[in-house]
Structure formats: C-alpha cells, structure tokens
Amino acid sequence: MRFEVLILGNSSATPMFERHPTAQIINFNEQIFLIDCGEGTQMQLHRYGVKSNKISHIFISHLHGDHYLGLVGLLSSMNLHGRYSDLHLYGPAPLIDIINLQLKHSETYLQYNLIFHATNPEKEELIFQNNTICVTSFPLKHRVPTTGFRFDEAQRSASLIREKIQHLNMPTVFFQQLKKGIDCVDLDGTVYKASELTKPAPAPRSYAFCSDTRAFESYVSSIQNVDLLYHESTFMHDMLPRAIETFHSTCLEAALIAKQVGAKKLLLGHYSARYRELTPLLQEAKLEFVNTELSSEGKWYNV
Amino acid sequence: MRFEVLILGNSSATPMFERHPTAQIINFNEQIFLIDCGEGTQMQLHRYGVKSNKISHIFISHLHGDHYLGLVGLLSSMNLHGRYSDLHLYGPAPLIDIINLQLKHSETYLQYNLIFHATNPEKEELIFQNNTICVTSFPLKHRVPTTGFRFDEAQRSASLIREKIQHLNMPTVFFQQLKKGIDCVDLDGTVYKASELTKPAPAPRSYAFCSDTRAFESYVSSIQNVDLLYHESTFMHDMLPRAIETFHSTCLEAALIAKQVGAKKLLLGHYSARYRELTPLLQEAKLEFVNTELSSEGKWYNV
C-alpha cells in the first residue's frame, strides 16, 4: 500500500536557488493530502504531475507567508478546473478569515464545499480519521501559533497465507475470523488455527511533519517512533544564536530530535537562503543520526 | 533615456505552459515600477535579475488573484532583504485590508513605510507625478473594479547643439534660456537664436497597460496615441461569447482598440490556458493592426 511524500518546496522564507516555499504531498493509497501551501504551490503541483483536484485534505501549519500564500490561488484554480468534491482545510483559526476576505473581493464563489477545521496550537488533537489513516496535529514552538502534523496508518488485519488456504476445504466465512486471529472449527471438528494460516500485517507506518519550530522537548512525545520524520533544519549549528532568535532549528538539533524519538529516517528541509550547497547540512545531521536525507524538490520519499 | 517594459507573467487566471500570472516591470531611466503582482512574482523578479528593493511604486489593477496574490510574499521578502526606503502602493481600496490582515497574523512588522493610495475605479485620475514621468489610472470594464495604468514621459526641454555652441563665446547662463526656446542677447548685442542653437527634444513616450477588460469605448480616450499599448487578449475571436461572459477581450478586439487609439505598437498578453501555441493569436491581431507583438516572459520591450 503506497505511503509516500512528495516535496514541492523545501526553502525557508525567501525562495532562492530555484527552491520553493514549503509544500508537500502525501499519497496514502491514492488518498492525496497537501501539507502547507507556499507561494507557487499550484505551479509546482502542475510541474510534478499532481492533479490538484485529487487533493481531499489540506493541512496548514501556520500563518507565515512561506507556508500558505499559495492557498487562495490553489483554491481558485480548483474552482476554475471544475472541482465539485468537498475539500477539508485544517489550519490556524484566522486562516478562514484571510481566505474569505480575498474570495469576497475577487467575487469568487466556490462551487465546492470548503470545510474549515481550526487547529489547536495549544495541545495535541486527532483531527482526521478514516479506516486506513489518522492525522494528529500537535503544537510546535515558533513565533506564531504553529502545529506539526502526524500521519498514522491504521493497523491492518492479518492476511491469509494463500498457499496454505487453497488446499483446505474450509468455509469461506472463516476467512474474516482468521484474519482477526480467531481460530475456527468446522462441522467435522477440524480446527483451523489463525496462527498457522495467517501472517501478521506489517507494522503500521507513520510520518511526521515539523516545520517551523525551535527543536524543543514539548513535541517529542507527539512524534515518538515515526518511520519518517521531516524536521526543519533552517540553519547549520554555527548559526544557533540566529536559530534561537528566529525560532528555527539547526541540522544538528533536527538529528538529535530524530534520535530521541526513535525515528527510522530523518528528512531535512526548510533550508535558509544562505545555503546554496546543502551537503554540509546533511553531513552535520549525520553526525548524530546516520539515516538522514536531504529533501529535494520533485522527489518522492517512501514512508 | 531608458523606457522599457519587462514581462514577468503573461498568463490568464490559470498558470500553464510555464507561463506565470500577470506582472510587469517598467524601467524608466532606472526608476523601477511594478504593475500587478501575480503569484510567484518574487521568483520571477529573481529569475530575471530585477532587485525587488529597487521597486519604488507598485500598481495593482484589480483584486483577482492572478493579479495580486504575489504581493504579500513580495512585501515580506523586501522586509527580510533589509528594505528601509518608502514603497508606494496603488490599488483598489480593499487591498490594504487584505495586506494588513495577513501581516497581522504572520506578526510581520514592516521596517519600511508602505504608503497606500486607493485607486478610483470610476474615473481617470493622475496618481503619480515627478519631473520626468506621470502615471494615470483609468477605469476598465471587468467583473470587479479594475483600472488600467498609463505612463507618460514628461516633455523634456530642447538640447543644445554642442557643435555649434562650442565655437561661440556665449555666457553659460544663456544655456537654460535657449533650451526653453528663449533667444538671448549678450552685452555686445550679439543675438543667440534658440531655433538655431538647439534641437527639439524627442516627443515624450507613453505606455498603457489594459488588463483585464472587455474591449470597450469607455477607456479609449485614456489611451489615445500611446507608443506602446499592452492590451489583454485572453481569447481568439471565435471565443467571443466566452470573452463577453468573462469580461475579457479577443485578439481581434485588442487590435481594433490599438488602431482606434492610434497606438504605435500593440503587445498581446493574458493568454488563456487553452492556448499552448500563441502564433494564431498574433496572426489574428495582425489582421487589424500590423505592428503587434506577443508578450514573452523575460523579454524587455522598448516603449
């Protein structure tokens, strides 16, 4: 089952070196989610072949321009492209006022339902759930109210071992029971053992998005054991005073967070415009957390 | 004296085929003006080597997203890049509320003065003037209040004919008089004739920007005799019903307007996303107005 992240933008406040402001696509089994929507996101979606009208949910971390200024353009273009399906939007409470003011003055009337859910910048909350995935928002530490987002795959049931099943004359009504781990007995008294006839589902996967934030103890509990952690790494550690001043993190700090929470892999991003060459950022993070990768625009990352 | 227009975006509502939403730079003798500021304008400025902090005045035609959604990002980036000089912004009255709401929630405090001037969508108005250029706004015919902008170079004084002057033993205090066309007499009774010693200044040049609008009689008087006319040409004429419905113009109509006002040259733009190949649009306009050119992104056009 597909669970991947596409980086549409990995730049911090000032777009530079053809890097764009923050935006990411999550493709979870063809459910398409957008996280953040910096200026130019609709062009980036087009460039990387993502149909914007397939996006069902948008999650905005905070109201700094480089994380949401592409949103009104995207919502308007979805309208022009004939969207009718509901769109769920999650973000800081004032976001809907900003959108409504702009739609009003452009006299744009959305023909689809835009369903807004204000995020809570004070505490962790489950904000979306269906049978296959759930999304949690959690507070980050930034200059304005900011949340991260965690995507958790639901625990799937065990699967039948086809090679063993096909030789048995077992009633098919037993299949669902066995998948749930329940042994079955037929009218002849034959016992079918779940432990022998099924293999357990793979462990549920998880992805966490942390941008923008000071590396801080407060959100560590929200991102425990994620498979893939995107953590902002605006600066290298020699710029720590600047990171503290602007409520951002260094590459070293991102790596220490990844280590502390037991992440399987760390993805760096939100690079300052002062860095043309990013290899030193990667090298710094790897000092503390080897399984680190630089996020690159246009690239899909497996969760 | 330089008077040129740089096209940063020539797309209509939906950015497509690597065409960007509307934005243009006017360089008039190193005074830098920006007209409209669609999403991604700050990236386009960077791509084409225009330093955003050299922009002194920004003119926004109307509040459809493809004409102003890059503005808050640009204003914020100017701040990050250390701008301190005043910035004059002209546009529809609600624009300043939209900007202030977004700056408030991003907790951005501009360290430069942003001086807002509401445009009048009801009648022509002189909105800016210095010794060398003046700018007039005038009503267009669109779905929301919209103005065009006309840039008129000031009449320069005549210039002295150096070859004739250098052989005369004329008091230098006469120079300014002669340039104004006033004959001078020195103490010996020698007469210096302005008509002989000066050559007239070239005729003042003018540029007009008309986007978005139905081609209409109402603004024809505002763009009489412009040297260069940028007129939107969203559709070809077979799409006239759609042009009427959406308050846009066809290429043929743009050409007829150029002919009617006695423009020297017509520049087409604001192309619909339905046209990948633009040559047919040019051919259609040339049927009525030969001196027509397609606006191309990244290209400078002489006024």
A76 and A216 belong to one structural domain: yes
Nearest residue of A to residue B62 by CA position? A106
**Counted domains in chain B:** 2
Q: What confidence score (pLDDT) does residue B168 get? A: 84
Tell me what the mean pLDDT of segment A267-272 comes to.
Answer: 97
A234-238's contacts with Cβ under 8 Å and 24+ in sequence apart are: A234/A12, A234/A270, A234/A271, A234/A272, A235/A272, A236/A275, A236/A280, A236/A281, A236/A284, A237/A284
**Cβ–Cβ gap A69/B64 under 8 Å:** no
Could you say which of B16, B39, B98 has the minimum Cβ distance to residue A105?
B98
Indicate if B86 and B18 belong to the same structural domain.
Answer: yes
Q: Is the pLDDT of residue A291 over 90?
A: yes
Q: In tens digits, what is the pLDDT along chain B, a chain of 303 residues?
A: 899 999 999 998 777 778 999 999 999 999 999 999 999 999 999 999 999 999 999 999 999 999 999 999 999 999 999 999 999 999 999 999 999 999 999 999 999 999 999 999 999 999 999 999 999 999 999 999 999 999 999 998 899 998 888 888 888 889 989 998 899 998 888 999 999 999 998 999 999 999 999 999 999 999 999 999 999 999 999 999 999 999 999 999 999 999 999 999 999 999 999 999 999 999 999 999 999 999 999 999 999
Q: What is the pLDDT of residues A108-124, one digit of tens each?
A: 999 999 999 999 999 99
Structural domain span for residue B150: 3-156+202-302
Contacts of A167 (CB under 8 A, 6+ apart): none
Are residue A168 and residue A129 in the same domain, yes or no? Answer: no
Give me the residues of B, 201-230, that contact A with CB < 8 A: none
- Whether B73 and chain A come into contact, CB under 8 Å, resolves to yes
Q: Does A7 touch chain B (CB under 8 A)?
A: no
3-class DSSP state of B196 = helix
A55 and A195 co-located in one domain: no
Let me know whether A89 and A210 are in one domain.
Answer: yes
Size of interface A-B (CB pairs under 8 A): 95
CATH number of the domain encompassing residue A27: 3.60.15.10
Q: Which of B183, B199, B215 is the last residue of a domain?
A: B199
B92 touches chain A (CB under 8 A): yes
Given a cut of 80, whether residue A14 has pLDDT beyond it is: no
Q: Which value does ipTM take for this structure? A: 0.87
pLDDT at residue A15 greater than cutoff 80: no
Shared domain for B288 and B163, answered yes or no, is no
Cα distances from A289 to residues A19, A284, A294, B247, in angstroms, run 25, 9, 13, 58
For A23-28, what is the mean pLDDT? Answer: 98
Same-domain status, A188 and A293: no
**pLDDT recorded at residue B187:** 87
**Listed range (A56-65, A163-172, A269-278) with the worst mean pLDDT:** A163-172
Q: Binding site membership of B for Zn(2+): which residues?
A: 62, 64, 66-67, 142, 212, 270
Q: What's the pLDDT at A168? A: 83
Q: What is the pLDDT of residue B108?
A: 94
Cβ contact, residue pair B98, A97, below 8 Å: no
Q: Considering only the beta carbons, identify the residue of A43, A73, A144 that sits closest to B65.
A: A73
Task: Give the chain A residue whose CA is nearest to the CA of B63.
Answer: A106
Which of A140, A168, A199 is the last residue before a domain boundary?
Answer: A199
Q: Which residue bears the tokens 């934030």? A: A213
pLDDT at B49: 95
Nearest CB among A15, A65, A101 relative to B72 is that of A65
The shortest CB-CB distance from B98 to any of A70, A73, A101 is to A101
**B125 and B209 part of one domain:** yes
| B105–A144 CB contact, under 8 Å | yes
Distance from CA of B115 to the nearest CA of A (A): 21
Residue pLDDT, tens place only, A34-92: 999 999 999 999 999 999 999 999 999 999 999 999 999 999 999 999 999 999 999 99
**Eight-state DSSP code of residue A238:** G
Q: Find the residue in B nearest to A99 (Cα).
A: B98
Q: What is the residue-wise DSSP string for A156-179?
A: PPPEE-HHHHTTS---TTHHHHHH
Return the structure tokens found at B151.
């840039």
Q: Is A107 on the interface with B (CB under 8 A)?
A: yes
Other Cβ atoms less than 10 A from the Cβ of B140: the count is 26
Instruction: Please indicate, yes or no, whether residues A274 and A187 belong to a single structural domain of this protein.
Output: no
**AA letter at B299:** K
pLDDT for the residue numbered A43: 93
Paired tokens of A188: 């002849």
* Same domain flag for A105 and A212: yes
Q: Does the beta carbon of B98 lie under 8 angstroms from any beta carbon of chain A?
A: yes
**Residues A272, A224 within the same domain:** yes
- Whether residue A65 lies within 8 A of chain B, CB to CB, comes out as yes
Q: Assess B76–A contact: CB distance below 8 Å, yes or no.
A: yes
Q: Which residues contact B40 (CB under 8 A, 6 or more apart)?
A: A39, A40, A43, B9, B15, B20, B21, B70
Q: Which residues of B are annotated as a binding site?
A: 62, 64, 66-67, 142, 212, 270
- In this predicted structure, the answer to whether residue A196 has a pLDDT above a threshold of 80 is yes
Cβ contact (<8 Å) for B144 and A107?
yes
Q: Is the CB of A63 less than 8 angstroms away from the CB of B15?
A: no
Out of B170, B199, B228, pick the residue that ends a domain: B199
Residue B202 per-residue DSSP state: P
Residue B194 forms contact with A (CB below 8 Å): no
| Active-site residue identified among B66, B86, B183, B227 | B66
**Which residues of A are identified as catalytic?**
66
User: Does residue B245 sit in the same domain as residue B279?
Assistant: yes
Inter-chain residue contact A64 with B143, CB threshold 8 Å: no
